[in-house]
Amino acid sequence: METDYIIKVAEIGAILSRLASEPVNEKQEVPKEELERLSLEVEIAKSDNAFEKGIMDIGEMAEYTCPSCHGALVKIQEGRRIRYRCHTGHAFTASALLAGITESVEETLWQAMRGLEETSMLLQHIGEHIMDAGDHDAANVFIKKANETADRARIVHDSIFKNERLSADLKYDKNKEKGKDKKKD
Ligand SMILES: [Zn+2]
């Protein structure tokens, strides 16, 4: 986003008051293409039908899929800003998309962990059942598999806690860190 003023908090009131009382001379020329896209997006927001409204034609196809519905995403470039929209109508800034994708990785890992734990419990259960029936060798095969599967579930569990949810806030965290370093020097 273009910045008009970088000022101290104490100066904000005076500048806002001056800007609000100034007459607007310049008529902002919005390019025709941008106006058409804006009106299409307003239509999508109203009717909730991005695909029929032709959303796929207003930008380039992105390499990612929508974290909400897994639909194909279109990349919309507006000056230095990039936004994304999927064909069902979900909209994201680059930061929101990053947050959505990392959150969806976390959900997938939880699902994988749950699946592995269920497998392990079932293998253990079948093993014990066969043990009761007297076939110790066969039972031990199932119980060994149950333990191996539980180990894999533990690995997924650990990686969930290493998986970070990321967004553009990362940039500000890094800036803060840099600021700290400078102060130290
Ligand atoms: Zn979507």
Q: Residues 113-153: pLDDT tens digits?
A: 999 999 999 999 999 999 999 999 999 999 999 999 999 99
Cα dihedral 139, 142, 148, 150 sign: negative
Q: What is the mean pLDDT of the chain?
A: 84
User: Measured in angstroms, how far is the CA atom of residue 40 from the centroid of ligand 1?
Assistant: 17
Contact 48, 37 (CB under 8 A): no
More confident site: 43 or 125:
125
pTM, to two decimals: 0.59
Domain residue spans in the chain?
Answer: 31-89, 105-169
Look up residue 112 and give its amino acid: A
What pLDDT does 112 receive?
95
Q: Residues 59-98: pLDDT tens digits?
A: 889 999 999 999 999 999 887 889 999 988 899 999 899 9
User: Measured in angstroms, how far is the CA atom of residue 65 from the centroid of ligand 1?
Assistant: 8
Nearest to 91 by CA among 75, 78, 106: 75
The C-alpha R_g of the chain, in whole angstroms, comes to 27
Q: How far apart are CA 125 and CA 26, in angstroms?
A: 77
| Cβ count near 66 (within 10 Å) | 23
User: Measured in angstroms, how far is the CA atom of residue 145 from the centroid of ligand 1?
Assistant: 39
Residue 82's φ and ψ, nearest 5 degrees, are: -120, 135
Residues around ligand 1, an ion, CB closer than 5 A: 66, 68-69, 71, 86, 88, 90
User: Measured in angstroms, how far is the CA atom of residue 12 from the centroid of ligand 1?
Assistant: 39
Q: How far apart are CA 132 and CA 144, in angstroms?
A: 16
Contacts of 130 (CB under 8 A, 6+ apart): 138, 139, 142
Query: Quick check: helix, strand or coil at residue 72?
Result: strand
